[in-house]
Amino acid sequence: MKNKRGGAMSFSLDSLVQMAEEKRKELEELEAAIRVMKRLNNAPTIEESSIDNPINETGLIDITDLEEPSSEGPKKRSLKDDIRDLVERFGDQEFTVSHVESALKKLGKASDAKNFKNRLSMLVRTLYEDGVIERTFEGSGKTPHKYRYITNK
């Protein structure tokens, strides 16, 4: 390569690797932009879409002709639902919140969030208050409460 004065430019290996990486990133960004543009160009316009033309002669859409999506779609499972299912599977064994956390991790349903264990503790207490589980040992300080699933409801 030559510099602006016509002389040879010197590059270190590190600077060449860095320049190549920058160009590679630029190329990836351009390719991503191309994919987006292709998708947008192939997307149907409102006029071309399969809507049963709810647009009246004034150009307004009459909402009475539109179908609203059902709010009764598949219910997303909550962490409380996962814990409820989990404690059932503990059977008549005593467990602590740490056991629940460990089992959720093994199932891939745990979080690395800072207060995740506190959240688990609150949800286990809610299951206790709802009568799903019973407290078999009242912990205090660093000694945790122990629970058991109530099998004969």
- In degrees and rounded to multiples of 5, residue 106 shows phi and psi of -65, -30
Same domain, 86 and 130: yes
For 10-34, the pLDDT digits (tens) are: 778 888 888 888 888 888 888 878 8
For residue 101, the model assigns a pLDDT of: 93
Asked if residue 83 belongs to a domain, the reply is yes
For 109-153, the pLDDT digits (tens) are: 888 888 999 999 999 999 999 999 999 999 999 999 999 999 875
- Neighbouring C-beta atoms of residue 134, cutoff 10 Å: 13
- The domain that holds 101 is classified in CATH as 1.10.10.10
For 57-81, the pLDDT digits (tens) are: 666 766 666 666 666 666 778 899 9
User: By residue range, what is the domain housing residue 97?
Assistant: 79-149
Asked if residue 38 belongs to a domain, the reply is yes
Q: What is the pTM (predicted TM-score) of this model?
A: 0.51
Structural domains counted in the chain: 2
Q: Are strands 146-149 and 133-137 parallel, antiparallel or unpaired?
A: antiparallel
Same domain, 144 and 97: yes
Asked if residue 37 belongs to a domain, the reply is yes
Q: Residue 45 — very low, low, confident or very high, per pLDDT cuts 50/70/90?
A: low
Same domain, 32 and 94: no
Asked if residue 3 belongs to a domain, the reply is no
**How many Å apart are CA 122 and CA 101, to the nearest integer?**
12
Same domain, 83 and 40: no
